[in-house]
């Protein structure tokens, strides 16, 4: 089945729509040679002339049935369709090919069901919620019992960025992330300046994409450091030490890649909240000698 199954009834809930999309992607992958994540990522780079990647974290999220932006979803589907049923390379499907229409339609339906992030409340259900209209400028950050945090990330890492933002939001922090708080027509530089001016800290999601030339991430980092903001680096993929700028490489960072979801969520909150000094004495590392052992060294 190279196409999304148009015969199925549209999902009635956001969770069902996500499950359906994840299932369809897993089936398409199985029908096109069950390629590894590494092979899919390499093919994405080839198809986009090195401009876009599909890293392991993104692929894991997609096949597990997590939310994926339309552009990233279409890239993944086109990459999978660039292999035939025998796993051999074949003609690349054009952007507007009819075979992609069911995928676009299913995603559009999913998007209408998707709850608005800013309408959510910690501990409360967001299923079926309607996102409130947003002002022309980013919402003012104010949270008496938490930090005000600006999320800095590279475009290909949006899935990770939204996941981290949600963990922090649920923990009581006020989060500013462009895909939730800005909309078409906003001036990026002005929105960034206002957001950073109001933020207590900047969370930077380190990945190979984050340090690519031409990304706005460098501008965000420079602006945050110039304003004396706290910088909290979280590594969502392995990044060679020599790929990180010198002023950032010497900073302690928390690794999220390779962790399960619960451990990664705990790591995010620890990185932002910091660790506490122990309230009880640490265990004494020594051990008493057995009664038969000497208590000193004889000197002749």
Q: Model confidence over 249-290: pLDDT tens digits?
A: 888 889 998 888 888 899 999 998 876 667 778 888 876 766
Which of the 8 DSSP states describes residue 83? Answer: B
Integer Cα distance of 268 and 18 in angstroms:
25
Integer Cα distance of 251 and 248 in angstroms:
5
User: Which regions of the chain does DSSP assign to beta strands (E)?
Assistant: 148-152, 174-176, 201-206, 230-235, 254-255
Q: What percentage of the chain exceeds 90 in pLDDT?
A: 20
What value does the mean pLDDT take over residues 48-72? 81
Q: Where are the alpha helices (DSSP H) in 125-278?
A: 158-170, 178-181, 188-198, 217-226, 246-249, 261-273
Residue 66 backbone class (left: φ over 0; alpha: ψ -120 to 50; beta: rest): beta
pLDDT category of residue 8 using cuts at 50, 70 and 90: low
Integer Cα distance of 220 and 216 in angstroms:
6
Q: Which two tokens stand for residue 115?
A: 């709850």
For 264-278, b/e burial (b = at least 16 CB within 10 A) is bbebbeebbeeeeee
Q: Which two tokens stand for residue 119?
A: 């309408």
Whether the CB-CB separation of 184 and 214 falls below 8 Å is answered with no
**Could you report the per-residue pLDDT of 198-242, keeping only the tens digit for each?**
889 999 999 888 888 888 888 898 988 888 999 999 999 888 888
- 104 has a pLDDT exceeding 90: no
Mean of pLDDT over the chain: 79
């Amino acid at each position: 089945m190279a196409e999304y199954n148009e015969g199925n009834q549209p999902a009635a809930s956001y969770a069902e729509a996500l499950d359906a999309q994840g299932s369809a992607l897993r089936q398409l992958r199985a029908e096109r040679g069950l390629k590894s994540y590494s092979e899919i990522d390499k093919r994405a780079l080839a198809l986009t002339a090195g401009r876009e990647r599909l890293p392991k974290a993104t692929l894991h999220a997609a096949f597990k049935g997590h939310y994926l932006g339309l552009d990233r979803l279409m890239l993944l589907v086109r990459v999978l369709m660039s292999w035939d049923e025998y796993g051999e390379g074949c003609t690349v499907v054009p952007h507007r090919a009819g075979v992609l229409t069911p995928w676009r339609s299913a995603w559009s339906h999913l998007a209408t069901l998707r709850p608005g992030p800013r309408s959510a409340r910690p501990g409360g259900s967001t299923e079926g919620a309607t996102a409130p209209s947003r002002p022309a400028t980013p919402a003012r950050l104010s949270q008496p019992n938490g930090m005000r945090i600006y999320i800095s990330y590279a475009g290909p890492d949006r899935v990770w960025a939204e996941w981290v933002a949600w963990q922090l939001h649920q923990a009581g922090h006020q989060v500013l992330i462009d895909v939730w708080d800005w909309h078409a027509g906003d001036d990026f530089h002005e929105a960034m300046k206002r957001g950073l001016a109001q933020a207590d800290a900047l969370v930077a999601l380190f990945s190979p994409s984050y340090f690519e030339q031409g990304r706005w991430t460098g501008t965000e980092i420079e602006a945050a450091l110039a304003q004396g903001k706290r910088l909290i680096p979280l590594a969502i993929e392995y990044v060679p030490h020599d790929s990180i700028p010198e002023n950032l490489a010497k900073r302690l960072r928390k690794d999220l890649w390779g962790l399960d979801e619960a451990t990664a969520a705990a790591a995010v909150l620890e990185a932002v909240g910091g660790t506490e000094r122990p309230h009880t004495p640490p265990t004494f590392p020594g051990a008493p000698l057995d009664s038969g052992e000497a208590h000193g060294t004889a000197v002749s």
